[in-house]
């Protein structure tokens, strides 16, 4: 699939961007490097009194104003007066010694399919004491509308652009969450991962955008983080997860995001001295060396049953889950705009085809498939779930974990194992490795055991130490 390069994107080139800068922009000096700043570095400066939350927010708002019109990473931005008032409040609390959590006064971005308090001044269109500075653009309906739709396009937010190479995909559904971090709009963001609809295009809504933006990311075990307030695709697969510029930041985000939530009984706490686990993992690997098993062949992939299951059983589960879960979500909103079901959503798109199905992103073929979805209470649905567990877990990931006695599976790029993890809800991590000759980032994916997030983060941290700093986008040179 090709991705459009709009004329306005010429300024992604450093030289062109420099020439286009106004005198006012050139005289305005950011208080820190937005492209390299992490939660960890910002917290250190806040604690040391060399930076305030007000300065942090001002710098990020300037960067957003400068670039978001071209990149379309954010679908909405927090009202300036409101977020500045909150930043001032966080600064005053810090001066009085009332620091509440690591993210106190740190701006973050969340995907636009995650509901936020109406008082924050940002709607949810599909979509701690941290400061919410914006909501990220996304592929409309988490890519569950049409196979012809471009990654990162929504009728509300337009086409998100890859910050490294405008001709490359910005990633999948959570494209805006990845581009926002890479473009220096925030130090970290919250994305979501779904089952999606088509095996050959399933790269993971957290995994692929992180790879395409040279970021670190963690797709948690499904159910570890509460899904309450997240626009559903199919709750069997759905989970939020963080994207950031270092593994330490991922751990901090997980600490904040994981807690028991009565609205999602599967949710669990995560906080168990993550930093200590990091140090222990790194020390252990440094002293003894990691044990590598190569190749780690997956039985169900070798005999072909995995691919058959992905096209059959998984598609059935996603279709059924989307029709029921999205319908429940829409009814919970009170039928706003007359949309109370997937059927109503299809009719709405047809009525507003000029906006919802423009020539570059036509059709809603995937949505139409849900009209024939089986109920989640049916025998066919239950049999499909059981088939996925047998093929992807028992004869898939668990078979390799037990046979080879390993804790983590590793693969370069977006090929294969992430789909297995998605089918059974296992955690995945993403690390950036480099940039290809055409400017597109590439990276690696780690798959862990169920609820093996701490081990996964420890391994990722060791790799981070070995590979050093992540590559920056060309706009960082401006």
Which residue's entry shows tokens 């790194």?
282
Q: What is the pLDDT of residue 107?
A: 95
Q: What is the pLDDT of residue 262?
A: 75
Q: What is the pLDDT of residue 48?
A: 93
The answer to whether residues 261 and 303 belong to one domain is no
Q: Which of 368, 388, 408 is the last residue of a domain?
A: 388
The answer to whether residues 318 and 262 belong to one domain is no
> Which of residues 115 and 440 earns the better pLDDT score?
440
Q: What is the pLDDT of residue 124?
A: 41
The answer to whether residues 100 and 149 belong to one domain is yes
The tokens of 152 are what?
């990162």
Residue 316 inside a domain? The answer is: yes
Query: Please, are residues 170 and 150 in contact by the beta-carbon 8 Å criterion?
Result: no
Residues contacting residue 161 through CB under 8 Å, at least 6 positions apart: 3, 6, 9, 12, 70, 71, 72, 73, 152, 170, 179
Q: What is the pLDDT of residue 350?
A: 93
Band (pLDDT 50/70/90 cuts) for residue 41 is: very high
Active site residues: 111, 173, 205
Query: Please, are residues 298 and 306 in contact by the beta-carbon 8 Å criterion?
Result: yes
Number of domains into which the chain is organized:
2
Residue 394 inside a domain? The answer is: no
Band (pLDDT 50/70/90 cuts) for residue 16 is: very low
Q: What is the pLDDT of residue 200?
A: 36
Average confidence score pLDDT of the chain:
83
Q: What is the pLDDT of residue 415?
A: 53
Band (pLDDT 50/70/90 cuts) for residue 274 is: very low
Residue 307 inside a domain? The answer is: yes
Q: What is the pLDDT of residue 281?
A: 44
Residue 309 inside a domain? The answer is: yes
> Which of residues 325 and 119 earns the better pLDDT score?
325
Whether pLDDT at 454 is above 70: yes
Whether pLDDT at 21 is above 60: no
The reported pTM is: 0.81
Residue 38 inside a domain? The answer is: yes
Q: Which of 340, 357, 388 is the last residue of a domain?
A: 388
Residue 93 inside a domain? The answer is: yes
Q: How many CB atoms are closer than 10 A to CB 311? A: 13
Q: Which of 340, 356, 388 is the last residue of a domain?
A: 388
The answer to whether residues 163 and 99 belong to one domain is yes
The answer to whether residues 189 and 338 belong to one domain is no
The answer to whether residues 328 and 473 belong to one domain is no
Angle at 56 between CA 53 and CA 57, to 5 degrees: 85
Q: What is the pLDDT of residue 4?
A: 30
Chain centre distance of CA 97? 33
The answer to whether residues 49 and 193 belong to one domain is yes
End-to-end, the C-alpha distance of the chain in Å comes to 29
Give CA–CA dist 217/241, Å, rounded. 7
- Orientation angle between helical segments 247-257 and 274-288, nearest 10 degrees: 140
Query: Please, are residues 145 and 362 in contact by the beta-carbon 8 Å criterion?
Result: no
Band (pLDDT 50/70/90 cuts) for residue 414 is: low
Residue 100 lies in domain = 7-270+464-477
Which residue's entry shows tokens 């060399």?
50
Residue 470 inside a domain? The answer is: yes
Give CA–CA dist 168/440, Å, rounded. 7
Band (pLDDT 50/70/90 cuts) for residue 231 is: confident
The tokens of 70 are what?
């071209």
Among 11-15, 223-227, 353-357, the range scoring the smallest mean pLDDT is: 11-15
The answer to whether residues 257 and 306 belong to one domain is no
Picking from 237, 239, 259, 168, the residue whose alpha carbon sits closest to that of residue 209 is: 168
Q: What is the CATH classification number for the domain harbouring 29?
A: 3.90.1300.10
- The arithmetic mean of pLDDT across residues 433-459, rounded, is 88
Among 134-148, 264-278, 431-445, the range scoring the smallest mean pLDDT is: 264-278
Q: What is the pLDDT of residue 445?
A: 87
Band (pLDDT 50/70/90 cuts) for residue 261 is: confident
Q: What is the pLDDT of residue 230?
A: 83
Whether pLDDT at 199 is above 50: no
- Indicate the pairing of strand 107-111 with strand 188-193: parallel
The answer to whether residues 320 and 375 belong to one domain is yes
Q: What is the pLDDT of residue 270?
A: 61
The answer to whether residues 259 and 319 belong to one domain is no
pLDDT tens profile 397-412? 999 999 999 999 887 7
The answer to whether residues 130 and 91 belong to one domain is yes
The tokens of 329 are what?
């979500």
Query: Please, are residues 68 and 76 in contact by the beta-carbon 8 Å criterion?
Result: no
Residue 380 inside a domain? The answer is: yes
> Which of residues 283 and 436 earns the better pLDDT score?
436
Band (pLDDT 50/70/90 cuts) for residue 391 is: very high
- The arithmetic mean of pLDDT across residues 55-73, rounded, is 96
Among 75-84, 301-310, 376-385, the range scoring the smallest mean pLDDT is: 301-310
The answer to whether residues 237 and 344 belong to one domain is no
Q: What is the pLDDT of residue 114?
A: 82
């Amino acid at each position: 699939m090709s991705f459009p390069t709009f004329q306005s994107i010429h300024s992604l080139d450093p030289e062109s961007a420099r020439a286009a800068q106004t005198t006012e922009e050139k005289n305005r000096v950011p208080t820190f490097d937005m492209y390299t700043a992490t939660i960890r570095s910002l917290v250190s400066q806040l604690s040391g009194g060399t930076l305030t939350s007000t300065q942090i927010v001002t710098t990020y708002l300037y960067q957003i104003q400068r670039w978001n019109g071209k990149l379309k990473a954010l679908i909405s931005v927090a009202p300036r007066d409101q977020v500045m008032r909150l930043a001032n409040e966080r600064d005053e609390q810090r001066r009085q010694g009332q620091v509440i959590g690591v993210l106190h006064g740190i701006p973050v971005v969340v995907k636009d399919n995650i509901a936020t308090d109406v008082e924050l001044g940002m709607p949810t269109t599909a979509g701690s004491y941290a400061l919410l500075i914006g909501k990220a653009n996304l592929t409309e309906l988490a890519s569950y509308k049409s196979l012809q739709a471009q990654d990162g396009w929504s009728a509300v937010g337009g086409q998100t652009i890859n910050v490294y190479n405008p001709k490359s995909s910005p990633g999948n559904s959570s494209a805006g969450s990845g581009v926002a971090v890479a473009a220096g709009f925030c130090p970290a963001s919250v994305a979501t991962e779904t089952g999606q609809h088509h095996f050959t295009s399933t790269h993971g809504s957290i995994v692929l955008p992180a790879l395409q933006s040279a970021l670190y990311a963690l797709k948690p075990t499904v159910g570890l983080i509460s899904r309450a307030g997240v626009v559903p695709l199919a709750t069997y697969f759905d989970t939020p997860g963080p994207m950031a510029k270092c593994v330490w930041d991922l751990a901090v985000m997980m600490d904040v995001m994981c807690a028991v939530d009565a609205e999602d009984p599967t949710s669990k706490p995560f906080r168990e001295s993550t930093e200590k686990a990091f140090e222990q993992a790194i020390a252990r690997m440094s002293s003894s060396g990691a044990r590598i098993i190569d190749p780690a062949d997956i039985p169900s992939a070798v005999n072909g049953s995995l691919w058959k299951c992905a096209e059959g059983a998984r598609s059935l589960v996603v279709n059924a889950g989307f029709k029921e879960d999205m319908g429940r979500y829409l009814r919970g909103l009170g039928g706003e705009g007359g949309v109370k079901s997937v059927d109503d959503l299809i009719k709405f798109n047809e009525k507003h085809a000029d906006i919802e199905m423009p020539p570059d992103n036509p059709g809603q073929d995937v949505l139409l498939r849900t009209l024939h979805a089986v109920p989640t209470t049916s025998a066919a649905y239950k049999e499909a779930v059981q088939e996925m567990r047998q093929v992807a877990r028992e004869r898939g990931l668990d078979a390799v974990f037990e046979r080879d006695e390993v804790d983590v599976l590793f693969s370069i790029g977006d090929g294969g194992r992430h789909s297995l993890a998605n089918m059974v809800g296992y955690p995945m991590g993403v690390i950036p490795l480099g940039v290809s000759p055409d400017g597109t980032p590439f990276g690696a994916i780690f798959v862990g055991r169920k609820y093996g997030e701490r081990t996964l983060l420890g391994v990722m941290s060791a790799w981070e130490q070995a590979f050093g700093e992540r590559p920056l986008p060309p706009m960082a040179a401006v």
